[in-house]
Amino acid sequence: MYPRIEVKLTSWQRQRLQEIRNQPPTPRMGKRAVCLLLSAGGASSQLIAQATGLATDTLTRIRRRWNERGMASLKDAPRSGRPPKIDSVYRKELRNALRRGPQAYGYVFTTWSIARLNAHLHRVTGITICNDWL
C-alpha cells in the first residue's frame, strides 16, 4: 500500500484542472486532471482508479509529481519511438467530416461507416490508418 499523498489546489488551479478535464489536450492529461481533482476532494484511490482506469501506483506518481511541479506535471514527457501518424490537420478533417456528413462530400450514402470514413480521410489527407484505430 502506498502512503496517502495530499493534493491541495488553489482556486485558479482547480479551475484550470476543470478546464483540462472538460477539454483535454491529450487523453493522458485529462485523466491526470480528473485524478488531481478527485484527490483534492478527498476521494479514495480505489474510487479514482475505477473512474480513470489508472493503477493505484500511477495515482501516487501523479500526486507526487503534482506536489513537486504543479501544473507542469500534467504534460507528457517526450516519448521515444515512432512519431504518431495522426496530426492536427487529420483531426480537423475528421471533425469536419463528422459534422458535415458524407453527402456534403458528394457520397450517395447518408451515414459514415468506419471503413468509409477512413477511406475518405485517406483521400483527403493521404494518411492511412487501420480501421480499428479510427
Distance CA 14, CA 1 (A): 27
pLDDT tens profile 106-115:
999 999 999 9
pLDDT tens profile 24-49:
998 999 999 999 999 999 999 999 99
pTM of the model: 0.61
The H or E element containing residue 76 is none
The alpha carbon of 20 is separated from its chain's Cα centroid by a whole number of angstroms, namely 9
Could you give the C-alpha distances from 116 to 24, 48, 68, 69, 105, in angstroms and in order?
Answer: 27, 37, 47, 44, 12
What's the one-letter identity of residue 93? Answer: E
Cell of 96: 469536419
Q: Which residue in this structure is represented by grid cell 512519431?
A: 83
